[in-house]
Structure formats: structure tokens, C-alpha cells
Amino acid sequence: MKIQHRPSFAETICDLRIRKVKKTFFEQINRLINWDDISAIIEKDYSKGKSATGKPSYDGLLLFKMCLLQYWYGLSDYEVEDRVNDSLSFSYFCGIGIDQVAPDHSTLSRFRTALTKANTFEKLFANINKQLDEKGIIVKTGALIDASVVDTPLRPKGKTKHKITEDRSEEEVSVEKDYAPSVDKDGTWLKKRGKFHFGYKKHYVTDDEGLVIGVHTTTASKNEISNLEEVLDSVNIELPEDIPLKADKGYQSEKNNELLKKKKFKNHILKKAKKNKQLTKWEKRFNKLVGKTRFKVERTFGSIKRWFGGGIARYRGMEKMHTQNIMEAVCYNLYRSPGIIASNSQE
């Protein structure tokens, strides 16, 4: 006979504490965000229609909140459906009554696809950042920029026969897309620090504290130096003129220097040694000073990877990967916001 495990007193207390933390966090987010604005944006692009049984389909805001839960807790479509049905704190956050059933995984998948095609996630990201900005959560004293590789498990098997782009190379290698059907054909190869990657790059612009204010998605082989303008154009809040833009030396070029002048940013891109010309003492000191803040964008990538399992592609194709990168940014900003508000109130 199988003996059923009974939780110990310590396990019970631990579970109650975790539930309390979740409930507190969800209450903070519900107070922080005006969900009516979010719902209005979704309703413009998402037609609920009827379910298979002929009943009205689920509300778009409920489905968007389920998307947030997915990223915060690293859940699949199937798993988030189960958790919303089983967890009081999850159902409370989504606005589902105890006698109601959560949308199934296929409904959530169709919702995500519809909003991806309509670029709705871009609009939602911009609106949420606008709300955070109005509450003084986003710090507009400077901007940081960097890129991170997102590997996809849908990669070619065995040794590649294609040429591979080296990280920081200004020459991008174009490849024939003669991959097997199982391979994500929007992905490309990149060699970085001796390791081979296949997939995408997410390019983030953050404020001085690492909150994400712009997202641009490319294939992995795309060099950062060549698309700085597109990345800066993705910024979705208004920034003051003459604030410093900090980036690593991979963005250093005459073209980018002129671009920053045109956009009225102070150029705080790290200085790069040239052939037969070492950095001066002033340039080394400049790099050291910039590095004291620039690391915060790297911390953002690292935190998303640790907290939400970022750095691995959940979906196939450039459009859906852009949705993933945006949702990770939204979840990161919201996750940090209650702590920032508490810190600001103590100053």
C-alpha cells in the first residue's frame, strides 16, 4: 500500500509564507498598474468571439495576466492553466472566482499569437512603462545599452557545415536555410568566447538602474555595431536631451558617434584601442567611470536568466521571440517596481 506523504509542520509554515509573499506581490502589482488602460489596448486588437461551446470567450486582460504569471514562474501554457485552477493566489491575481475555470492552454496560445501579429505586446510594454514613469520608478538620468544571446533548442543537429559569425565581427555571414524542418530557420550561428550559439539576440535599452525601456530582436549573427539606431528607436518613453548613453566598446564606430550627436545623447560608449595605438590614461579612466554604471544592463540580463529562466527561446520564429523578449522585460520591470517604490519612500 502506498503511504501518502503528509507535510511536516515546517513544510506547512514554509508553504504558507510562500503563499503570503505571492499574495503580497500580486496586491502590489494590482495597486501599481491601471489595468483598465491595459484592457483597453488589448480589446482593440483581440476579438474574443465565442468559445467552442458557444459561450463568450475569456477576457483579454485575464489572458495577459496569465502570460505574466508564465514568465514570473517559468511555466508552460499547460502548467499556467493548472496553476491558475489550483492556486488561490494565482486565481486571485487573474480575477477568477473560485467557481470558475481558467482558460485552457490552446486559448492562451491563440491569444499570444493574435497579439504578436498585431504588435500589441509593444503597445502594452509602452503603456506599462508610461505608468511606471509617471510614478517616478524609471530613472531618466542616463541610458544603458547591450545585447544578449538567446539560444534556441530548435538548432541543427551535429556539426554545422555553414560559416559562423564571430562575435564583434563587422562582417555578417549569410547562410543558406537548408536546415531540417525541426530547425528554427530564423535562427543563425554565432561564435562567442569560443562557444557556438544558435538562435537570436535581444537588444535592451535600460534606464540608469537597469529597468528596460527599449527592446529590439535580431538573429544571433547580427552585430550590435550595425543596428544601434534601430535599438534606440525602440525606446518607448521620452528621454531628456544630453543624458549619457553608455555602451561597451562593441558599439564604438564613427557612424554611431554621429548617430548619438544627432539624437542628442552624450557619448559614453567605452573607448576602444586601435591598431598600433593604445588607450590613453584619460581613456582608461573614462572607461573605468562608465563601467561603474554600465554593468547594470548586464545585471538585467543576468537577473532575467536567474529569476525567469531567460536566455532560452520558448518559441519558434522572430516575431514570437520578440514577444518573449518584450514579456521578459515587462515582467522584470514589474518585479522590481515594488522594491524601488519602497526604497524611494525611505529616502
pLDDT tens sequence across 67-76: 999 999 999 9
> Which of 76-80, 276-280, 321-325, 329-333 has the weakest average pLDDT?
276-280
* Residue 54 pLDDT exceeds 80: no
Helix axes 35-45, 105-117, angle to 10 degrees: 80
- Say what the pLDDT of residue 182 is: 87
The predicted pLDDT at position 192 comes to: 82
Q: What one-character-per-residue DSSP string does 51-82 give?
A: -TTSSBPPPHHHHHHHHHHHHHHT--HHHHHH
The DSSP H or E segment spanning 285 is helix 281-308
Q: Is the pLDDT of residue 7 over 50?
A: no
Identify how many contiguous H helices and E strands the chain contains and give both numbers.
Answer: 11, 7
Helix (H) or strand (E) holding 24: helix 9-32
Q: What pLDDT sits at residue 21? A: 58
For the chain, the domains span 9-118, 139-346
pLDDT bin (cut points 50, 70, 90) of residue 11 is: very low
Which is more confidently placed, 10 or 189?
189
pLDDT above 90 covers what percent of the chain? 63
**Mean pLDDT in the chain?**
86
| pLDDT attached to residue 98 | 81
Lowest mean pLDDT among 29-33, 90-94, 119-123, 173-177: 173-177
> Is residue 115 within 8 Å of residue 121, measured between CB atoms?
yes
Least-confidence region, from 99-108, 169-178, 231-240, 312-321 = 169-178
Cα torsion at 314, 319, 324, 330 (round to 10°)? Answer: -170
For the chain, the distance separating the N- and C-terminal CA atoms, rounded to the nearest angstrom, is 60
In whole angstroms, how far apart are CA 41 and each of 60, 131, 143?
A: 10, 14, 27
Distances (CA, A) of 2 to 5, 6, 7, 9, 11: 9, 12, 16, 22, 21
Q: What angle do CA 284, 287, 293 make, to 5 degrees?
A: 150
The DSSP H or E segment spanning 258 is helix 254-262
* Fold of the CATH domain 139-346: Nucleotidyltransferase; domain 5 (3.30.420)
CA 12 to chain centroid: 34
* Contact assessment for residue 328 and residue 307, using Cβ atoms and an 8 Å cutoff: no
Give the pLDDT confidence of 80-132 residue by residue, as tens digits. Answer: 999 999 999 999 999 988 888 999 999 999 999 999 999 999 999 999 999 99
For 161, the grid coordinates are 557545415
Q: What is the C-alpha to C-alpha distance for residues 210 and 188, in angstroms, rounded to an integer? A: 28
Rg of the chain in Å (alpha carbons) = 22
What confidence category does residue 224 fall into, taking pLDDT thresholds of 50, 70 and 90? Answer: confident
Q: For residue 125, which phi and psi values (nearest 5 degrees)?
A: -60, -45
170 close to 225: Cβ distance less than 8 angstroms: yes
Q: Assign 3-state DSSP to the chain and report helix, strand, coil percentages, each to 5.
A: 50, 15, 35
Asked if the model's pLDDT at residue 61 lies above 50, the reply is: yes
- pLDDT above 70 as % of the chain: 85
Res 50: pLDDT? 45
C-alpha cell at 254: 564613427
